[in-house]
Chain A
């Protein structure tokens, strides 16, 4: 069960695994996620399904080793099994049938962006993609994104590759020059909270409908606990069952950022343990 079939190192801190999960692969839709656990003492974390192959019965997960559990996951090799894997969870993304979409991905957010882009491409949508990272070596899934995009723009914060600056800056530049806002049906922006917030600020200015994918702290992922509460248009939503995709112009970003950092102290304690070898 849940055996890792392939593993690829995308950047020094980002890995991609292909996992045998026939039930999940059979039902997965772009936008959905899984909850997994790596050890008997482990926590449950959500990861977006980056790709799926119904025939082969596999799903692809991409993760950045930012916390304790993603680091444990990073230690698993092909033939190892993921202890618990539940899904597919959340609502599938509502994607347009025709027209033009701009997809904006920051950092590891390109992974959850990819399945939507593939589906948009399959539907014949004109797709303009902007992907970015802190530096050139942290850009992920470039070839996969290029394959389904009509135009691909690369950005780095330090200018080591492509446009120097944030993806939101690049979007703004395009909207002020080559892209006409009235030709764009919607924008999908996925990445860290500050990146999604900044991108929404730009698209609001140009009156562009924008979908974002929230990735808050979760425990069960099925609507039971409410850890993933996010305020959207003044109402409390559960990202796990009402999302994870929401209208980015309605999200309370400051609250989301604050809630994402609820366990910062505990994360430091856990990370210290991981670095020292720990018991895992």
Chain B
């Protein structure tokens, strides 16, 4: 059989339609499409793709089962190492991970691994009840701080090993960034709820509206009988530019903007009670995945002009290629090599414009990307009525401030010795954005997984060394 150079296209909602609704953009493969795409996999003896996956999913294994139409077995293979496959199939940056290693990528397009992962995960949600393995309780208790990707993964793995696991979540709904950050059109909340339900069915308890560090400290968790604590509290603090006018009405952090829309469902106001004021001319500052999510939300809330404003160039944009592509299809404008210097307000204190300066690229900086340098005298005013700051986030300092012996770097990330996630405080592990700063869902899951393995080894060894 001749090799097909190109992957099977993903069906998507028409850009003209979708830019005014919050329904999912990528519609998923049909069975025929999945079979055709799965048949492209060479089932390599040495599968590089597996090395490219932070949780080492047996990729050729599950794809082969798809070609045999054994979908339940295929999803079981994925779930053996990945407890959130429906999420990862949608939001993982596969092009820089598993798919970047695929041998087919040398001559043509790599196998669409993410799309196939999504296919089997969705198949299970539609056709069957996820199988719950038999679990023997081992009598030990682990507390998890934060019900995001790192915490859910760590909790799921420990529950399977027999631990009594409780997740403490500060918001009223579990899911972390999957619930408050990533919009419905990219990751339907129903999917997240089902993945969370699966973790609960493994026996994990989730306490919402419980802020570790305030409602109870880490020390008090130990006093209450927990044998170990895993911190997966994410990177929730928004970064602002500290430019004049940033506190005008109509300036949001991307965190606030997206939390109002996703967690609080402000796009359904007044059916839901939380309001949002999103204007007709919206500028989103930044070019990561969060910026793309925010700018595409702005379109869906009725913006006539939705703009990305980014100080570097196209090549440097950190967002996934697919998100940038979808944003462009929907009509988002990209103002590159442009940096805001101040936000202008009207007589009532609402945003009426944003003064920017043109940038050019100089020598590479610490990140390896070319450093943007302002072009003197190139200031100009953009006509905007809403500004959203999507410049990244930092970990919340609350746990460091309230936990004896828990140390963090100056920028807020928790210090861990190695890949196992041990912090400077005995019996406290950490992983995900709380350690790395804002990164990806799958990296957080990988860290949660590694910590679960080490927590198990540590608690079973009976060692008190740290």
Q: How far is the CA of A35 from the CA of B170 in the complex (A)?
A: 11
Q: How many Å from the CB of B167 to the closest CB on chain A?
A: 15
Residues of B within 8 A of A27 (CB): 214-216
Q: Are B398 and A225 in contact (CB under 8 A)?
A: no
Distance in angstroms from A271 CB to nearest chain B CB is 10
8 Å CB interface, B154-209 against A: 170-172, 180, 208-209
Complex interface residues of chain B between 244 and 287 (CB less than 8 A to chain A) = 246-247, 249, 252-253, 255-256, 259-260, 264-265, 269-275, 277
A86 pairs with B256, CB closer than 8 A: no
B240 in the interface (beta carbon within 8 A): yes
Query: Mostly helix, strand, loop or mixed at chain B's interface?
Result: loop
Taking chain A's interface residues, is the majority helix, strand, or loop, or is none over half, making it mixed? mixed
User: Residue-by-residue, is A245-280 near B (CB-CB < 8 Å gives 1, otherwise 0)?
Assistant: 000000000010011001100110110010000000
* Contacts A24-B215, A89-B211, A225-B238; A69 near B275 (Cβ below 8 A): no
CB-based nearest A residue for B249 = A262
Residue in B208, B260, B348, B398 whose CB lies within 8 Å of A223 = B398
Determine whether the beta carbon of A236 is less than 8 Å from that of B246. Answer: yes
With CB as the reference atom, state the residue of chain B lying closest to A259: B249
Which residues of B have CB within 8 Å of A241?
398
State whether B396 touches A41 (Cβ < 8 A).
no
Q: Chain B contacts of A273 at CB under 8 A?
A: 270
Bound CA–CA A224/B256 (angstroms): 7
Interface size on A, residues (CB 8 A): 41
Given contacts A84-B172, A226-B255, A266-B277, contact A23 B270 (CB under 8 A): no
Instruction: List residues of chain A with CB within 8 A of the CB of B211.
Output: 86-87, 89, 222
Given contacts A219-B260, A231-B247, A258-B249, contact A87 B215 (CB under 8 A): yes
B257's nearest neighbour on chain A, judged by CB, is A225
A270 touches B210 (CB 8 A): no
A220 proximity list for chain B (CB < 8 A)? 170-171, 236, 259
For residue B349, CB closer than 8 A to chain A, the reply is yes
Does A43 belong to the interface (CB within 8 Å)?
yes
Q: For the complex, what is the distance from the CA of A85 to the CA of B272, rounded to whole Å?
A: 18
Task: Kindly list chain A residues whose C-beta atoms are within 8 Å of the C-beta of B246.
Answer: 236
| Residues of chain A within 8 A of B170, CB atoms compared | 86, 220, 222
Q: Which residue of A lies closest to B209 (CB)?
A: A86
A222–B238 touching, CB < 8 Å: no
* Extra inter-chain contacts (10) besides given A43-B264, A44-B172, A224-B236, CB under 8 Å: A24-B215, A43-B272, A43-B273, A220-B170, A222-B211, A224-B238, A224-B396, A225-B260, A226-B253, A270-B270
Q: Which A-B residue pairs are the 8 nearest by beta carbons?
A: A266-B275, A225-B256, A86-B209, A84-B172, A258-B349, A43-B274, A224-B236, A43-B273
Which of B's residues lie within 8 Å of A, judged by CB? 170-172, 180, 208-211, 214-216, 236-238, 240, 242, 246-247, 249, 252-253, 255-256, 259-260, 264-265, 269-275, 277, 348-349, 396, 398
